[in-house]
Structure 1
Amino acid sequence: MRTIRRTTRGRLAAGTLAAVAAVALAGCGTETAGAGGDGGGGGGAAANDSGGGSSGSDGATGGGGGDGDGGSSDEETVASVRWVPQTITVDGEETPRPAWADRAFLTIEPGRAEGGGGNSGGHTGCNYHGADVTVDGDRLRVSDHVSTMMACPGRPADFERNLLDVFLSDPTFEVSEDGRTLTLTNTDTGDSMTLQRDDSAAREVVGARWVAQSVTANGEEKRWPAEVDDGHVTIAEDGTMEGGSGCNSFNGEVRVEGTRFHDVEFMVTEMGCPDPAMEFEGHFQAVLASEPTFELSEDGRTLTLTDIETGENMVLTRDEAEPAT
């Protein structure tokens, strides 16, 4: 058997706002870059070219603090987490997230993507959006923003507009000591947004058997061949995982947290199989070993794993017939 693990851990983005933009197109409609208006919940998506500073590495749980024993860097406290907006404060008036915006979320994956939009972004309650984000001390530098431009009847545009105004302002950020609350602040206006950490998607990934349906490499999507053994992975609550990658079986460990697989390491048997089994196995193992981000569909049945360095991804579906034990 041979051991596979990720050998580089830099968060270099790689043109994969497919994780947001592709879902947006499938679930919403047209993706558009450019300035948004105020009418009927249209998604304001003005490009923000504020650049991007160097990634910050100091600080514990607050914005721009000093080092501390056992503390995490600023980037680590905010990155690869699904953050759900709770309140937005504009001109001193705090407004809670309206009930219709229950789909709203924000995810930060620092780095710059090759195409329009980036690896960061989420949903405003009406539209999907994406951007490049770099962490500069206690500030998020946001650029290359794109958004779908859906009109959402009956949903006032104020919440979406205010959310994007804060996000696109290159806001400062502060994460609470318990890591559960994120506050973004527009330093020009004093407007702010509070968000809470949401780990529900990670809990849904664990304990299920996921079966590969397709892989995408170099921009080309390939369906998993019927003649190749199922590519599948099951992750237990204790972090152990096992599965098959098309030819060989594997077992190992992973930590599923926020919106990412962390600390992936697994051992693989060394059987030889004819193509296309080995081709698809290579894609499967490469994505899994990359410590990918993950996107779970609203119905919880489809899981998309994305290597944010290469843009390669893999789509898996929940195996309802064989629940994990």
Structure 2
Amino acid sequence: MTALASAGLLLTACGTESGAGSEGGSGGRSVESEVPLTGIRWNVASVTVGGEKYDAPEDAHLKIGKDGRAGGSFGCNSAGADVKIKGDTLDFGETRLTKRACPEGRMKFEEHLTRALAEKKLTAKVDGDRLTLTTAKGDHVDLTSRAEEPDAPLTGTKWKVDAVGGGQSAAPLPKDVSGKVQLTFGEDGKVRGNLGCNDVTAKAEAKDGRLTFGTPATTRKMCPGDTMATERKLLKLFDGPARYEIERNTLKLTAADGTVINATGDPSGADPAGAGRNSPEK
């Protein structure tokens, strides 16, 4: 409902195309806009209700058609509605939603989004590729026309480790090893890399956000300063089942004992075959 609303508003705010919408609803009215808005995917970034901000789930978006219809997805259910625009306000008709059951987080977001756009009139403000839809109560929906970057793949990406630490946070790597620590998960079911001093290789199976490792094999160099202490922390990753999360080009690894490792992806720097040339093999 909110996504649709935003679509219509966007047309008004920018002001020469006729109509708004796609994916649902019927009818509509012509509007004038200096920049093309129809056929563009507007990604919902967040919704703020009662002072609380909620980030949108993946794929929450809307599209505006030239036929006076607006439609999209709230991250769970698809929606469609007619759009009427006057000045910088948007009025949308009855919103039709599909009735899929989704994980609780997505359903909650859909609830908040619907609540934010329950009022008939929304005020639109456009700033570059960003659109903000605001209700009379001050709740607002933030959208962007900027394309979402896909998450880097776990396999085949050279992950440069930036930080390691305990608990839920990680501290930047010491100067002695900064820029040296990296891991690459290969298509052959192994992870290879460097721990700042020694090379490492181990079997690695990834499934549903979890990693299962085999016993790691490392070279046996002795290094000065904080390097060996950092290496010991990094090796905790292989002590048991670990979790991984990827967002855009960042990777967070959480070891069984709670050790957290943060890394940044560099797809161009990975061995295409995912195979290290000099890593120790078991």
TM, length-normalised to structure 2: 0.45
Higher RCO, 1 vs 2 (CA within 8 Å, ≥6 residues apart): 1
Larger radius of gyration: 2
TM, length-normalised to structure 1: 0.40
